[in-house]
Amino acid sequence: MNCIILEKPHAQSLLRDMVNMVPYFHLVSYCSSVFDAYEILRRQKIDIIFVDTTLSKVSGTDFIKSLENKPLFVFVSDQPELAVEGYNLNALDFLLKPLRFDRFLKTANKAYELGSKEFKKAEIPADFEQQDTGPKTILVKTDYKTILIKLNNILYIEGLKDYIKIYTKENSKPVITLNSLKRLQQNLPAEKFSRVHKSYIVGLDHINAINKTQVMIKDKFIPIGESYRSVFSQKMEELRI
């Protein structure tokens, strides 16, 4: 998603760093003048604007009001009382300073999901009945960075106390992150993944073979726990042809 930042010069660096940490954001430009922002919008397609509400000369809210064809926009402010006005203008979100990356990431996810839906609307014929298939990716924090993992690339997930290992088709080494299987399972589509053991979640599309006590994915044999066998077997029956 193409982004621009419209922010006071002394406050731009933190927001730039946050935008650059998100893999599906491309920072096109950053500026402190609404007139520079107008020029960028005239020359290039922008998907989302991060705009300070309290710019000098022309406020961020007045700038947004002046746009005829608005991209997604997020207000950034140190004045919480402006949040109501922001939402009345249909802002995607209102980020209160001082900015925190965990809060920013929630906004980024919201923008990504909404942007993806708009892209699909533009590409798919109007008479095509589209089903909502849920999220296609997850964001995982590892090694001081946040990476995007496609759900259909996940082979299986292994839990190790406070950490999990995510094994994918693309990489020989797993992605290791601080999380729990229970928490992650809540964010995975149940029709695509199943908990088969207290330490394992498997991607149903990648199962090569099954017996009474094990699931095979590639060359890995994964145990089936007694307490998970019934639910897992039911899912397998639904997939049987």
Domain spans, the chain: 2-123, 138-239
* Mean of per-residue pLDDT scores for the chain: 85
Q: What is the token pair recorded at 108?
A: 């980024």
* pLDDT of the residue at 125: 46
> What pLDDT digit, counting tens, does each position of 89-105 carry?
889 999 999 999 989 99
SS3 call for 23: coil
Angle of helix 12-21 relative to helix 101-123, nearest 10 degrees?
Answer: 60
Give the closest residue to 218 by CA, choosing from 165, 160, 154. 154
Higher per-residue pLDDT: 153 or 88: 153
Fold for the domain defined by 2-123: Rossmann fold (3.40.50)
CA 218 to chain centre: 28
DSSP, residue by residue, 149-174: EEGGGEEEEEEETTEEEEEESS-SSP
Where are the strands (E) in the chain, listed by range?
A: 2-6, 26-31, 48-52, 72-77, 93-96, 137-142, 145-150, 154-160, 163-168, 175-178, 193-197, 200-203, 209-210, 214-217, 220-223
CA dihedral 86, 14, 105, 93 (to 10 degrees): 0
- pTM comes to 0.50
- 138-239 architecture in CATH? Beta Barrel (2.40)
* pLDDT of the residue at 194: 93
Q: Is pLDDT of 123 > 60?
A: no
Q: Is pLDDT of 128 > 50?
A: no
* pLDDT of the residue at 132: 44
Dihedral sign for Cα atoms in the order 142, 138, 171, 27: negative
* pLDDT of the residue at 47: 93
Q: Is pLDDT of 177 > 50?
A: yes
* pLDDT of the residue at 58: 84
Q: What is the token pair recorded at 235?
A: 């899912």
* pLDDT of the residue at 116: 63
SS3 call for 126: coil
* pLDDT of the residue at 95: 92
> What pLDDT digit, counting tens, does each position of 22-45 carry?
888 999 999 988 999 999 998 999
Query: What whole-number distance in Å separates Cα of residue 113 and Cα of residue 84?
Result: 23
* pLDDT of the residue at 240: 64
* pLDDT of the residue at 124: 40
